[in-house]
Amino acid sequence: MSFLVFYLAQFSQQDQLLQREENSYRSQSSNTIQEWEASYAAAKELGFHEPSFYFSIYRKSSSDTLNRIQDERIRNVLTDLAYRTGNWEKINAFYTTIKDTLPLLNSKKQQALIQELRTFYLNEGKPSYFIQFPRIRTEFYSLLSISSTFNNYIPLFKWNGFTNQYHLWLGNILKGNFGTSLIDSTSVNEKINNAIYWTVLISFISLIITFSIAIPSAFYSSFNPESFLAKILDKLFFLFYAIPNFWVATLLILFFASGDYLGWFPTYGLGFVQDYYSTWQIMVLRIEHLVLPIIALSYGSIAFVYKQLKSSIEQELQKDYMLTARAKGLSSSAIKWRQLFKNACFPLITMLGGIIPALFSGSFIVEYIFSIPGMGKLTITSILSRDFSTIYILLLVATFFSMLGLLIADLLYYFADPRVQLSFENKEGK
């Protein structure tokens, strides 16, 4: 999992770098050399100048320390040149010459030189400006004179040791140090600590409400399938199942929270706690603010649990042990509550595993709409402000929690249902 998240994070390195530069180095960069130095400093701060993994594999015509060239367009031009000529040492000499020449020029000439290097292949590889400088010209033509493209097909392998980006990143996470935000330089730990409380609280309340509404209504409607209420429930929950939750949340705000229609509830946020509020007052304030979000979050899972549980009950009703129980002369309530209830509720445990990721996803939109400072809101704001270091940690944390949910569901299933065996137990038995 961490591989996946790290791999995703690699795609946004350039953006991360830009973001960091914008936030801390913008004012200083008046000319190109300073810009490059600032860029390198930013990269060093983020650890991007290290190799990305434990080992690197690269073409013989290329280099393993390419990621130290921070300007993406120049990096592309250089790899392109290297692919054509197949000689990295010459390219390196060429690039060093350019870097050495730069400080001798005034800033206008610097700009022109770098601009030409960046757009080298848009001009079909024909230099016009930098052949004016004799040193660069000699390097460039000696570069073109040698062509050993065979080097393109020789892969080289290099062991990078433990000072690589992945090792440092994962090590920090395992130590519980999630790094700092790119935007406001606060610690990501702190951000997540503040946010996770609300998400867990809302998800937990929503889970309780879901089960306490869905279970009785599923049992009622499968025991009395012909009744009027059961038909209404069926239709209602089918509707719930198909309505997108961001629409419901928007409508709830529109009609129950805004001043134009029914202003029963506050529109968004969690309310502002004054110093003199008693615990009771704080609770009332919070509940007032959380009613609409929890409705928006729960209705979908209520419909889901209702549907699944009902089909499970109907399956159980047709099994042989029901007939046996009836033949033994057990009263109908004894059959229902002592025999059927237990068996029909096993799928609920499995569903618990599936509902937890769904609640996380759902809380995402609901928190965004109602401005609740939870994990979902944090993710959206991080993404909209392109705060990558926070985003990938959040993805990792959310995945971890969902997996934890699945594991707990599996374990609960194991303890609740004696028929389930773990795979190693099964082998021992045989």
Query: Site residues (CB under 8 A) for other proteins?
Result: 1, 8, 11-12, 57-59, 76, 79-80, 83-84, 121, 152-153, 155, 157, 242-244, 246-247, 250-251, 253-255, 257-260, 267, 357-358, 360-361, 364-365, 368-369, 379-380, 383-384, 386, 388, 391-392, 394-395, 398-399, 402-403, 406
Shortest approach of other proteins to residue 376 CB, angstroms? Answer: 8
Shortest approach of other proteins to residue 173 CB, angstroms? Answer: 16
How far is Cα 63 from Cα 153, in angstroms, rounded to an integer?
Answer: 14
Q: Which is nearer to other proteins, 114 or 378 (CB)?
A: 378
Work out the burial of residue 382: count CB atoms within 10 Å of its CB; fewer than 13 is exposed, 13-18 middle, 19 or more buried.
buried
Shortest approach of other proteins to residue 427 CB, angstroms? Answer: 16
In three-state secondary structure terms, 25 is coil
Q: Tokens 């390196």 correspond to what residue?
A: 92
Instruction: Give the single-character DSSP code of 253.
Output: I
Alpha-carbon Rg for the chain, nearest whole angstrom, is 31
Q: Which is nearer to other proteins, 65 or 331 (CB)?
A: 65
Shortest approach of other proteins to residue 430 CB, angstroms? Answer: 18
Q: Which is nearer to other proteins, 62 or 110 (CB)?
A: 62
Shortest approach of other proteins to residue 411 CB, angstroms? Answer: 16
Helix-helix angle 245-252:279-317, to 10 degrees: 140
Q: Which is nearer to other proteins, 39 or 61 (CB)?
A: 61
- CB count in 10 Å sphere of residue 401: 18
- CB count in 10 Å sphere of residue 366: 29
Shortest approach of other proteins to residue 279 CB, angstroms? Answer: 32
Q: Which is nearer to other proteins, 170 or 358 (CB)?
A: 358
Q: Which is nearer to other proteins, 171 or 244 (CB)?
A: 244
Shortest approach of other proteins to residue 266 CB, angstroms? Answer: 13
Cβ contact 390:191 at 8 Å: yes
- CB count in 10 Å sphere of residue 283: 11
Shortest approach of other proteins to residue 5 CB, angstroms? Answer: 9
Q: Which is nearer to other proteins, 267 or 339 (CB)?
A: 267
CA contacts within 13 A on the Cβ side of 171: 8
How far is Cα 214 from Cα 240, in angstroms, rounded to an integer?
Answer: 12
Q: Which is nearer to other proteins, 78 or 215 (CB)?
A: 78
Cβ contact 256:292 at 8 Å: yes
How far is Cα 410 from Cα 334, in angstroms, rounded to an integer?
Answer: 29
